[in-house]
Structure 1
Amino acid sequence: MAKKNYNYEKRAREIEKQKKKEEKLKKKQAKNNPENPENVENNEEIESIEDKE
């Protein structure tokens, strides 16, 4: 029987937590700055794309 890869599961949970945290931050910033919520989302998308490269 194959062993479970717990490191993979742990990393998947960490990534999921990070995404949720970023979404909460976006909502919080949009709430605090209702004038430009589109700019906040676009800036974070650009940053996340740059991080992946």
Structure 2
Amino acid sequence: MAFKVNYNQQRAERNRAKQAKKDAKLREREEEVARRKAGLDPAPADTAGEPGAEAPTEHSDGTP
């Protein structure tokens, strides 16, 4: 016979996983702030994904 489902245990596991993910993300952000304040990474790394951050391309006829 299969075990009875324990919803409280499943919920606790989900909450632990969620909290661990939040803690890891917070730790990453704090490390980024520390690097920026130390002067090792003066520019944010997220500028590559922004829509206006792309380099303009020229066509073969020289027009932008």
Is TM more than 0.5 here?
A: yes
Q: What letter corresponds to residue 31 of structure 2 in structure 1?
A: L
Per the TM alignment, residue 37 of structure 1 is displaced from its structure 2 partner at its CA by 2.7
| Structure holding more helix per residue | 1
Calculate the TM-score normalised by the size of structure 2: 0.50
Q: Which is bigger in relative contact order (C-alpha 8 A, separation at least 6)?
A: 1
Task: Mark the runs of 5 or more structure 2 residues left unpaired by the alignment.
Answer: 1-5, 47-64
**TM-score w.r.t. length of structure 1:** 0.59
State the Cα RMSD in Å. Answer: 2.5
Query: 1:32: how far off?
Result: 0.7
Q: How many residues are matched?
A: 40
Change (3 A) 1:3 1:27: same
Say whether residues 1:15 and 2:21 are aligned partners.
yes
Q: Gaps spanning 5+ residues in structure 1: where? A: 43-53
After superposition, the Cα gap between the structure-2 partners of 1:17 and 1:35, relative to the gap in structure 1 and judged at 3 Å, is closer
Q: Considering only CA atoms, is the larger Rg found in Structure 1 or Structure 2?
A: 2
Seq. identity, %: 8
